[in-house]
């Protein structure tokens, strides 16, 4: 999968899990500052990534990502 | 009859199926066997069948006490997966779930999600984080609940509260710094937990350093907002505050400080701390100065009963927590 396609998919998944509009998100969006990330939403996101991209992430690794771009890097490593 | 005796009697009246994904652990198997043999639960061991049977024989237990579920047996696994993915609002799809179910912890929870078990009991080999993640992923949170939390049940000698020497307090163990919405979830979950476990009519006080506006500031605002959210979400529950701790549990103090109608003030049987700093210190004060026995922490907020026991727990403590979990599951069915 090309990086651009992966980015688009992950932005959609983040939007769905955190109940945001995908158009407002970028790879620079911060989980902590912009999304107010709680573990419940991160669990939903990790599950969705596992379902749709077949990449199994550790919750602790996903939670350690500062931005959506960092998460995409992590997914690329696992795919 | 002591509170533990009441809980044990409740579990024995309606033994529930408790899934043990860490049954190869010697202490866990002993606790599962003894609580099963004594008639409190139906112990369901989830793992490698051959290894489990060999360990049961080697340790001298009667195999007929257990139900053994082999995680490598494909027909049953497939039936669990099919039922699971057919449930509304589950997180994992078939392929991802099948992969996760190679781990007995996830297998046990999938069984529980589809009604093949009533409780998942783990935490002796898995970390608390492992158990919480698996629980959130497979069992999910109750509708309207935004965080996992916990309560403890304190039996305080000399305390003359509205439930005698007993007082439920939370959260003293899990949710570090809840926002108002999460604090409301903790209170709602706590009411449901004591109702299922002890058949109490919950009267839940959300405590602070202020009673009904006697103080001002953001620490208090969080608690008053939480009371408002909890009352909007669950008007059927008696959740009130903000109260100081003494106004919550002492009728004499409540009479002086609470100048409006309250079903809770002075007679609370559930106390919700504003954050984990208060919760942890609070429960230690009750134990150290009040010489209380504290049971728990009992995890709450999940759709079904999940128990995470301490990794250093002795068999006697594990058995107590198994029976408490089973009694909660029995109470949730009523």
B242-292: pLDDT as tens digits: 999 999 999 999 999 999 999 999 999 999 999 999 999 999 999 899 998
CATH of residue B257's domain is: 3.40.50.10750
Residue B131 half-sphere exposure, CB side, CA atoms within 13 Å? Answer: 27
* Nearest-by-CA chain A residue for B135: A43
State whether residue B126 is helix, strand or coil: coil
**Same-domain status, B109 and B62:** yes
**Same-domain status, B184 and B118:** no
Contact B263, B238 (CB under 8 A): yes
Please name which of B69, B66, B14, B32 lies closest in space to residue B321, comparing C-alpha atoms: B32
* Nearest-by-CA chain B residue for A46: B137
User: Confidence class of residue B128 from pLDDT cuts 50, 70 and 90?
Assistant: confident
Q: Which segment, B72-76, B142-146, B283-287, is predicted with the most confidence on average?
A: B72-76
For the whole model, what pTM was predicted?
A: 0.86
Residue B330 half-sphere exposure, CB side, CA atoms within 13 Å? Answer: 25
Average pLDDT, stretch B319-332? 91
User: Mutate which of B87, B93, B106, B126 to disrupt the A interface (most A C-beta within 10 Å)?
Assistant: B93
The helix-helix angle for B3-13 and B180-198 (nearest 10°) equals 70
pLDDT at A37: 65
| Mean confidence (pLDDT) of chain A | 90
Helix (H) or strand (E) holding B232: helix B218-233
* Nearest-by-CA chain A residue for B130: A59
Q: How far is CA A47 from CA A17, B26, B285, in A?
A: 10, 32, 40
Kindly determine whether residue A50 and residue B146, on different chains, have CB atoms separated by under 8 Å. no
pLDDT at B129: 82
User: Confidence class of residue A78 from pLDDT cuts 50, 70 and 90?
Assistant: confident
Please name which of B159, B160, B186, B193 lies closest in space to residue B171, comparing C-alpha atoms: B186
* Nearest-by-CA chain A residue for B89: A44
Kindly determine whether residue B136 and residue A54, on different chains, have CB atoms separated by under 8 Å. no
**Same-domain status, B86 and B9:** yes
pLDDT at residue B168 is higher than 70 = yes
**Same-domain status, B130 and B154:** no
Angle at the Cα of B140 (from B134 to B141), degrees rounded to 5? 125
**Same-domain status, B153 and B204:** yes
Q: Which segment, A37-46, A57-66, B207-216, B305-314, is predicted with the most confidence on average?
A: B207-216
User: Confidence class of residue B74 from pLDDT cuts 50, 70 and 90?
Assistant: very high
Please name which of B220, B266, B219 lies closest in space to residue B246, comparing C-alpha atoms: B266
**Same-domain status, B124 and B154:** no
**Same-domain status, B37 and B106:** yes
Tell me how far apart the alpha carbons of residues B286 and B269 are, in angstroms, rounded to a whole number: 15
Q: What is the dihedral of CA A51, A52, A53, A59, to 10 degrees?
A: -50
Percent of chain A residues topping a pLDDT of 90: 54
pLDDT at B201: 95
Contact B188, B333 (CB under 8 A): no
Cα A63 off chain centre by? 10
**Same-domain status, B289 and B319:** no
Cα B129 off chain centre by? 15
How is residue A6 written in tokens? 């992966």
CATH of residue B33's domain is: 3.40.50.10950
> Distance (Å) from the C-alpha of residue B42 to the closest C-alpha of chain A?
31
Contact B161, B178 (CB under 8 A): no
Q: What's the maximum distance between 2 C-alpha atoms anywhere in chain B?
A: 66
Q: How far is CA B334 from CA B199, B239, B307, B325, in A?
A: 10, 22, 20, 15
**Same-domain status, B187 and B249:** yes
The phi, psi pair for B212, rounded to 5°, reads: 45, 55
Percent of chain A residues topping a pLDDT of 70: 97
Report the sign of the C-alpha dihedral through residues B124, A62, B174, B325, in that order: negative
Q: How far is CA B33 from CA B43, B56, B231, in A?
A: 7, 9, 43
**Which residues from chain B sit within 8 angstroms of residue A63, using beta carbons?**
none
Tell me how far apart the alpha carbons of residues A59 and B128 are, in angstroms, rounded to a whole number: 13
**Which residues from chain A sit within 8 angstroms of residue B93, using beta carbons?**
51
Task: State which residues form the domain around B71.
Answer: 3-140+302-332
Tell me how far apart the alpha carbons of residues B283 and B158 are, in angstroms, rounded to a whole number: 16
How is residue B108 written in tokens? 């046990």
Structural domains of chain A in order of their starting residue, each with its CATH number? 3-78 (1.10.1200.10)
Angle at the Cα of A70 (from A69 to A72), degrees rounded to 5? 65
**Same-domain status, B67 and B174:** no
**Same-domain status, B222 and B136:** no
Residue B210 half-sphere exposure, CB side, CA atoms within 13 Å? Answer: 14
**Same-domain status, B159 and B289:** yes
pLDDT at residue A32 is higher than 90 = no
Tell me how far apart the alpha carbons of residues B221 and B35 are, in angstroms, rounded to a whole number: 46
Tell me how far apart the alpha carbons of residues B163 and A29 are, in angstroms, rounded to a whole number: 50
Residue A59 near chain B (CB below 8 Å): yes
User: Confidence class of residue B46 from pLDDT cuts 50, 70 and 90?
Assistant: very high
The total number of structural domains in chain B stands at 2
pLDDT at B13: 95
């Amino acid at each position: 999968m090309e990086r651009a396609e992966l980015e688009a998919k992950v932005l959609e998944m983040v939007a769905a899990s955190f109940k945001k509009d995908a158009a407002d998100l970028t790879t620079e969006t911060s989980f902590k500052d912009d999304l107010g990330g709680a573990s419940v939403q991160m669990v939903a996101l990790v599950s969705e990534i596992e379902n749709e991209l077949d990449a199994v992430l550790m919750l602790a690794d996903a939670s350690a990502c500062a931005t959506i771009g960092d998460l995409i890097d992590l997914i690329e490593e696992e795919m | 009859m002591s509170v533990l005796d009441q809980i044990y009697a409740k579990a024995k009246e309606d033994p529930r199926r408790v899934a043990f994904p860490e049954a190869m652990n010697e202490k866990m198997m002993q606790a599962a066997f003894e609580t099963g043999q004594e008639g409190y639960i139906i112990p369901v061991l989830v793992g490698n069948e051959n290894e489990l049977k060999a360990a049961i024989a080697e340790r001298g237990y009667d195999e007929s006490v257990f139900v053994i579920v082999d995680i490598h047996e494909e027909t049953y696994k497939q039936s669990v997966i099919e039922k699971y993915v057919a449930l509304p609002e589950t997180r994992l799809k078939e392929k991802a779930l099948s992969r996760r179910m190679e781990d007995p912890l996830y297998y046990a929870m999938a069984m529980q999600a589809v009604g093949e078990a009533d409780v998942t009991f783990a935490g002796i080999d898995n970390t608390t984080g492992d158990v919480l993640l698996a629980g959130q992923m497979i069992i999910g949170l109750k509708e309207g609940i935004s965080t996992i939390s916990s309560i403890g049940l304190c039996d305080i000698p000399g305390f003359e509260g509205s439930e005698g020497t007993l007082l439920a307090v939370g959260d003293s163990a899990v949710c570090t710094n809840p926002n108002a919405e999460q604090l409301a979830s903790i209170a709602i979950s706590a009411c449901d937990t004591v109702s299922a476990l002890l058949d109490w009519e919950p009267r839940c006080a959300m405590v602070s350093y202020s009673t009904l506006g006697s103080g001002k500031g953001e620490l208090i605002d969080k608690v008053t907002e939480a009371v408002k959210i909890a009352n909007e979400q669950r008007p059927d529950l008696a959740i009130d505050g903000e109260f100081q701790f003494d106004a919550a549990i002492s009728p004499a103090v409540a009479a002086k400080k609470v100048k409006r109608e309250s079903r809770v003030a002075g007679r609370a049987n559930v106390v919700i701390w504003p954050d984990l700093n208060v919760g942890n210190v609070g429960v230690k004060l009750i134990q150290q100065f009040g010489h209380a026995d504290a049971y728990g922490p009992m995890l709450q907020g999940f759709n079904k009963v999940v128990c995470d026991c301490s990794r250093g727990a002795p068999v006697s403590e594990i058995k107590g927590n198994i029976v408490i979990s089973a009694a909660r599951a029995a109470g949730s069915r009523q």
